[in-house]
Amino acid sequence: MVRVLAVAALTLGSTWLPATAAEVGKPSPEFAIRYNDGSQKLVSSFRGKVVCLLFVHTTCPHCQHASQVFSQLNTEYGTKGFQPLAVAWNDMASMLVPDFIKDFHINFPVGFAPREEVLTYLGFSVMDRTVVPQIAWIDRKGIVRSQTPALGDETKLKEPYWREMIDTLIKEPGPAASHKSAPHHTTAKPATQG
């Protein structure tokens, strides 16, 4: 009995959310998306663009449809600074991503990540029930501006909302350019004749 209580206490303790969870209005935590060619890309490397992180299951019809809509949105807004990124996190995602891209004609990067890393990024516990897709919107300055709740949100999971987010965020300025100090100019002394 004591052992069961100890295991239960440890399990409950493991639902604590780390400080690195995405929170609306705060800078996006770092997140690595892995790709089938062995590379990975950090979300921070897209700073300056409006990023939509689309967390999907490759076998989910809603995720498949959303990815197709985001392909269209990428075609329309990609040259204006919009960057959709899909992250598959279902079982065997790394094996299923290539066919997912091909079968649904996805025209933006689709990678994968372990379930635990996705849940941590989204700020969800392993005990939470979740729906897919999950979507996080990150502005040009790297601030999380919107995120679906664990059980979804009908409004946030529809194309009109996605277009509204893109239209709003692409009009906002990006991060301030870093100012480099002006180079020091040295004035050469005139050569003296001697």
Confidence at residue 107, expressed as pLDDT on a 0 to 100 scale: 98
Return the DSSP state at 133: -
Write down the pTM of the prediction: 0.81
Classify residue 187: in a domain, yes or no: no
The whole domain housing 130 covers: 19-168
**Phi and psi, residue 187, nearest 5°:** -95, 125
Classify residue 8: in a domain, yes or no: no
Confidence at residue 21, expressed as pLDDT on a 0 to 100 scale: 82
Confidence at residue 191, expressed as pLDDT on a 0 to 100 scale: 43
Query: Which residue is associated with the tokens 């019809």?
Result: 61
Structure tokens at 49: 């663009």
Classify residue 190: in a domain, yes or no: no
Confidence at residue 177, expressed as pLDDT on a 0 to 100 scale: 66
Classify residue 128: in a domain, yes or no: yes
Classify residue 46: in a domain, yes or no: yes
Confidence at residue 176, expressed as pLDDT on a 0 to 100 scale: 80
Confidence at residue 20, expressed as pLDDT on a 0 to 100 scale: 64
Strand order in the sheet with 144-147: 40-42, 32-34, 110-112, 82-88, 50-56, 134-138, 144-147
Q: Write the DSSP assignment of 28-56 as a string of letters.
A: PPP-EEE-TTS-EEEGGGGTTSEEEEEEE
Classify residue 62: in a domain, yes or no: yes
Average pLDDT, consecutive stretches of 10 residues, N- to C-terminus, the chain (194 residues)? 39 41 94 98 98 98 98 98 98 98 98 98 96 98 97 96 98 76 43 42
Provide the number of structural domains found in the chain: 1
| CATH number of 112's domain | 3.40.30.10
Classify residue 119: in a domain, yes or no: yes
Whether 103 contacts 65, CB under 8 Å: no
Structure tokens at 138: 């990150």
Which residue in 122, 112, 116, 176 sits closest to 144, CA to CA? Answer: 122
Classify residue 85: in a domain, yes or no: yes
Ramachandran class of 157: left when φ > 0, alpha when ψ lies in -120 to 50, beta otherwise: alpha
